[in-house]
Amino acid sequence: MGIICGLGCGTQAVYDALRAGKPAIGTVRHLRTSHTELPVSEVAVSNEEMIEMLHLPSDRVVTRTPLLGMVAFQQALRQSGLTDSVRTAFVNGTTVGGMEKSEQYYLEFFEGKHTEYIAAHDCGAGTEQIGRLFGHLDAMYTISTACSSATNALIMGANLIKSGKADAAIVGGTESLSKFHLNGFNSLMILDHEPCKPFDKNRNGLNLGEGAAYLVIETAESAQKRGATPLCELSGYANACDAYHQTATSPEGEGPFLAMTGALNKAGLKPADIDYINAHGTGTGNNDLCESVAIKRVFGEYVPPFSSTKSFTGHTTSAAGAVEAVISILSLTNGFIPANLNFSSAIEESGLIPVTKGVGDVELRHVMSNSFGFGGNDSSCIFSKIS
Amino acid sequence: MAVYIQSAAQITIQSPLCDDWFTSPIRREGRYFRSVEPDFKAFIDPMASRRMGRLLKRAIASAMTALDGYEAPLDAIVTGTGLGCIETTEKFLNAMLRDGEQALPPSFFMQSTHNTIGSVIAQRLKCHGYNNTFTHRGTSFDCALQDALAQFELNDISSALVCANDEMTEAYFQLFDQIGYWKAEEVTEAMFHHPTTEGSFAGEVSAAFLLNTQPTQQTFCRIEGLEVLFEPTDERFRQAVEALLGKADISREEVDAVVCGYNADRTNDEVYTRRLMPLFPQTTQIYYKHLFGEGFSASAMGYYVAATCLKRGEIPAHIRFKEGKTAQPKHILVYNHFQDKDHSIALLSC
Amino acid sequence: MNELISTLKQEIIEVLNLEGMTPDGIDDNAPLFNGGDPSVAGLGLDSIDALELIVLMERNYGIKLKNASEGKEIFKSVATMADYISKNRTK
C-alpha cells in the first residue's frame, strides 16, 4: 500500500505522526485562495517537487490530483512487487479531477490559452496518467461518489477479482485541494474555523484535506503464486444508499447502518468481533450524530473503540476511503488505535466517547472503516488479520 | 447467472422516451445538438425539481420510464457520467470567478459532484441498495455496466438500473472545440462513410436500462458478457472476443452484427476497422452516432441500438454501416473505444 | 416594511426557483420550513434552501451570518425575515 497526505509521504511517516499524536491541520500554503482563515490539511510538497520526485519531464501537463496519486501509486507497487504478468485492473476514486488547474485557467481556455489542460479536467484523465506508471494495465475504471469514492473503488476491485474479471487490482483514490471545493464546502457552511472536533458535542464542521492512497489487492492464491506476503485480508465490504437527501444523512442513519451491517454479513462476523472502527467522523453536526446513531444501532450496548483520524488528516474527500483504509491496516498490523483528537464531551443524543489518546499494544483482529459520501453514498469495509 | 435487459429508455437528440429513431429517425447534420426534452412535469413535481439542472431531470425521467411497471425491489443503481452535472458546475465556477470567494450559491456546488445523479435517482425511488458512479470518459457507461455484471455474477444482486447521463453545455462545446473534438464544418452522414478529417459532432445522452435475471415477454435481450480493456494488444483483443463467444458457446460466424462507435473522425473510425477486420471481415456493421452524436455517454446508445434490434428482430437500413448477411439478428457485439485507449466489447443475444 | 416584504418574496421565489409560485401566494406569516411535517402548512423548504437564503441576505442586504443555525429564528416566516433584515441591513 502507498499513501501521501498532510501527515507525510509513505506509510512510516503517517504511522509515526499518528503514534506521536501530531495532527497535520494548518494554514494553506500552496492553494491560491482568499480563505486563509480556514484550516486545512495540505500535503507539504508542491506540484513541482512531486514532478521531480517522480522524475517526470518538468513541462508535463499534469494537475495536483494525479500527481498525489502517482506518488502513492508508486509506493503501493513497490511494496507489493506486483507486475503486469497478471491481469491487473486499476480502480481510481476521485472527484476534483483537474479542477485545480481548470479554476485557474477557465476564462483563458476560451481565448485559446492553456488549452492543454482542458483534456486534463475530467476524472478519467487523471486515472490514465497515474495508471501509466504501471507496466501494462488490463483495464481502468474511475469512480466518483464524493467522499466514499475510494472505498467504492476498493469494493469494485474486489468484485472484479472475485468474478474473475481481473487477477489483481490496484485500488484507492486521490484528491487535491481546490478553490472550487473549499468554497463549495464553505457555501454549505460546514467548515470549522478551528481544527475539527469529530464526535464532540460542540463540533463545528470539517477541515478539508488532500492526499492519495492505494492498495494492491489479489486473491490468496495469486499472492502465493507470486511469493508475496499479504498484509491483511479484506474480509467484508458493503455499499448502500441512504436515499434521503443530497447533502444530509437521515436521522436514523439508514445508509451507514446498512453499509456496516452489510460489511459484517459479507465477512461472516458478528458486531462483537470488530475491535476498532475507523469512523467517517467528519466533524459536521449532521454526519457525526447520524453515524453515532447508526453505530449504536449496529453494535448496541457494546460499541468497540472508535476514532476519526480526520482530526489528523482533515477530510481528504475522494481519497479518504483509501487514506483511512491504509490507517486501518496500519492499526491492525501494529496493534495500535489512533486517537480522535480535540474531543472533550460526548454528543448528548448518543453519549458515545471515541478513543481520545492513541493506544498501543492492543490485539486487533478485525478493523472496520467507514466512508460516507454526499448523496448518501455510504460504504464500509472490514480488514482482518490473516488467520 | 444470465442477465437480461428488461427495459431501456432514452432522452437524446432523437425523439425522447420512445423508439421513433428506429423507424423514422431525425436526420442530424451539424456540429452541436441538444437533447429533445419531454415534459418533465409528468415525472417530477416543480417543488422537488426546483434545484435540479436539466441533466438531473433527464436522468430521472429516463430512469422512471425504464422502471415503468416494475414493482420488484431494485438491488443496485449504477451510473456512468463523464462530466456529471457540468451545467451547474459551470454556474458555481463562474460565480466564484466573477464574484470572488464570498456568498456563493450552495445548490450549484451540491450538484457538481458526479454522484448527484445516481443519488437523486435513489432518493426518488427510495432505493437503499448498492449505488455507484463511474466517470471514465468515453467508457463511463461501460464501466458502470461492468460493475453491475460483476455483482450479478457473484449473486450479490438480481436487479440493477444502469444509466448513462451527460449533457453538453455551450461552454463545454466551445472548450472541446478548442482541442479538436468537433469538426470545423457541419458533419454530414456522408462523412461517416468517408471520414477525411478529425472530429465529430456533439450530442447529449441520458439512457437507463433495467437489468435482471428473469426473462419476460418484454425482454430486449440477454447480456452474455462484457470485456473492458485498456490499450489491448491485438492478441489481447482477440482473446477477449473469443472469451465472450466461448462463454455464449457461439462461433465468430454466428455473430450477426457488430455495433461500432463510428463518429466520422478519421482516427477514431480507423481503430474499428483495424481491430475488427481480421476477426469479422464479412459481418454486418451497425453505426449509431450519426443519430445520437458524440459525447462521454454516447456508448450507451450502442447497447440501446443493439438491444432494440434484437428485440425487434431486424436491423433497419439507416443504421447499417457495412452490409453482411441479413438474417434476423440473434447475436450482436457492441464495440466501443475511447481514443484507442479504453475499449469495451459486449455480446448481446436473444 | 410592506415594500420590503414584497421585494423579499420576489427574491425568494427567484433564488429558490419556486416555479409557479407568486408573491401573493406566500402568506407573510406562514412558516417557510415545516421540518418535513406535511401537516404544517407553508413553503416546505429544507436546509439547502436555508443556506440559499443566507446567501441572499449577504448578497442583497449585506448581512453575514456566521452560523447556519442562526437562520432558524430569522427564517421562521417572510415577516420575521423582513424584520431581521430591516434591523440589520448594511445595504
Do B53 and B163 belong together in one domain? yes
Domain span at B243: 222-349
**What pLDDT score was predicted for residue B136?**
97
Q: Are residues B57 and B174 in the same domain?
A: yes
For residues B109 and B258, membership in a common domain is answered with no
C42, pLDDT greater than 80: no
Task: Identify the CATH number of the domain in which residue B316 sits.
Answer: 3.40.47.10
Which CATH class, in words, describes the domain spanning C2-88? Answer: mainly alpha
Cβ-defined contact of C58 to B102 (cutoff 8 Å): yes
Q: Are residues B251 and B300 in the same domain?
A: yes
Are residues B281 and B208 both part of a single domain?
Answer: no
Final residue in a domain of this structure, among B167, B186, B212:
B212
Residues B205 and B234 occupy one common structural domain: no
In a domain, B115, yes or no: yes
What pLDDT is recorded for position C36? 55
Chain A neighbours, 3+ Cβ pairs < 8 A: B, C
CB-based contact B195:B267 (threshold 8 Å): no
Q: Answer yes or no: do B14 and B108 share one domain.
A: yes
Please give the grid coordinates belonging to residue B311.
428485440
| pLDDT at residue C18 is higher than 90 | no
The pLDDT value given to residue A33: 95
Distance, in Å, from the CA atom of A74 to the CA atom of A295, rounded to the nearest integer, reads 35
User: Given this model, what pLDDT does residue C44 score?
Assistant: 79
- Asked if B204 and B65 sit in the same domain, the reply is yes
**Is residue B275 a part of any domain in this protein?**
yes
Query: Which of A120, A53, A45, A42 minimizes the C-alpha distance to A315?
Result: A42
In chain A, which ranges are continuous DSSP H helix?
11-20, 47-53, 64-80, 99-109, 123-131, 149-162, 179-187, 220-226, 254-267, 285-299, 310-313, 320-334
How far out from the chain centre does Cα B123 lie? Answer: 23
Interface contact flag, C47 A247, Cβ < 8 Å: yes
pTM of full prediction above 0.95: yes
Residue at a domain's end among B212, B233, B250: B212
Which residues on chain C are in Cβ contact (under 8 Å) with A187?
Answer: 51, 55
* Contact (CB<8Å) A188/C55: no
Does residue B254 lie in a domain region? yes
Of the candidates B314, B209, B319, the one whose C-alpha atom is nearest the C-alpha of residue B260 is B319
A50-87 in b/e form (b: 16+ CB < 10 A) is: bbeeeeeeeeeebbbbbbbbbbbbbbbbebbebeeeeb
Local structure of residue B280 (DSSP, 8 states): -
Smallest Cα distance from A57 to chain B, Å: 22
The answer to whether A187 contacts C51, with C-beta atoms less than 8 Å apart, is: yes
Whether the CB of C35 is below 8 Å from some CB of chain B: the reply is no
Grid look-up 437564503 returns C53
Give A212's strand partners: A4, A174
Domain boundary (B180, B212, B244) is at B212
**B12 within some domain:** yes
Q: Kindly list the partner chains of chain B, i.e. chains with 3 or more CB atom pairs below 8 Å.
A: A, C
In the residue annotation, A193 being an active-site residue is answered as no
Residue B217 falls within a domain, yes or no? no
pLDDT higher than threshold 80 for residue C38:
no
Whether the CB-CB separation of B119 and B161 falls below 8 Å is answered with no
State how beta strands A211-218 and A2-5 pair. Answer: antiparallel
Cα B47–Cα B51–Cα B53 angle in degrees, nearest 5: 120
* φ, ψ dihedrals at A123, nearest 5°: -60, -40
B229 secondary structure, DSSP code: E
Same domain, B68 and B161: yes
Cα–Cα distance, B13 to B29 (Å, whole number)? 11
CB C52 to CB B50 under 8 A? no
Report the C-alpha gap between B66 and B303 in whole angstroms: 14
Closest CA–CA distance from residue C80 to any residue of chain B (Å): 22
Q: Do residues B46 and B176 both lie within one domain? A: yes
- Evaluate whether residue B43 is within a structural domain: yes
- The segments of chain A whose pLDDT lies below 70 read none
Task: Give Cβ neighbours of residue A320 (< 8 Å, ≥ 6 apart).
Answer: A147, A148, A150, A173, A175, A280, A310, A313, A371
Give the model's pLDDT for residue A338: 98
Distance from CA of A188 to the nearest CA of C (A): 7
Cβ contacts below 8 Å, chain B against chain C, sum to: 26
Neighbours of chain C (3+ CB pairs under 8 A): A, B
Active-site position among A123, A315, A366, A381: A315
- A122, B123: Cβ pair inside 8 Å? no
Q: Is A120 exposed, middle or buried (0-12, 13-18, 19+ CB in 10 A)?
A: buried
- Looking at the structure, tell me whether residues B189 and B161 fall in a common domain: yes
CA–CA separation, A70 vs A89, rounded Å? 16
Tell me how far CA of residue A27 lies from CA of A32, A51, A283, A314, in angstroms.
12, 23, 18, 12
Q: How far apart are CA B141 and CA A93, in angstroms?
A: 16
Residue B82 to residue A243, Cβ atoms within 8 A = no
The tens-digit pLDDT sequence of chain B (350 residues) is 799 999 999 999 999 999 999 999 999 999 999 999 999 999 998 888 888 999 999 999 999 999 999 999 999 999 999 999 999 999 999 999 999 999 999 999 999 999 999 999 999 999 999 999 999 999 999 999 999 999 999 999 999 999 999 999 999 999 999 999 999 999 999 999 999 999 999 999 999 999 999 999 999 999 999 999 999 999 999 999 999 999 999 999 999 999 999 999 999 999 999 999 999 999 999 999 999 999 999 999 999 999 999 999 999 999 999 998 777 999 999 999 999 999 999 999 99
Which candidate from B103, B106, B107 shows the least CB-CB separation from C58? Answer: B103
Distant-in-sequence, close-in-space partners of C57: CB < 8 Å, separation ≥ 6: C63, C64, C65, C85
Q: Which residues of C touch B110 (CB under 8 A)?
A: 48
User: Are both B202 and B343 inside the same structural domain?
Assistant: no
Decide: A381 and A157 in contact? Cβ < 8 Å. no
* A147 is an active site residue: yes
CA dist A51 and A47 (Å) reads: 6
How distant is the Cα of B66 from the closest Cα of chain C, in angstroms? 27
DSSP character for A225? H
* 3 state SS of C20: coil
Number of domains present in the structure of chain B: 2
Q: What is the pLDDT of residue C40?
A: 59
**Bigger pLDDT: A203 or C67?**
A203
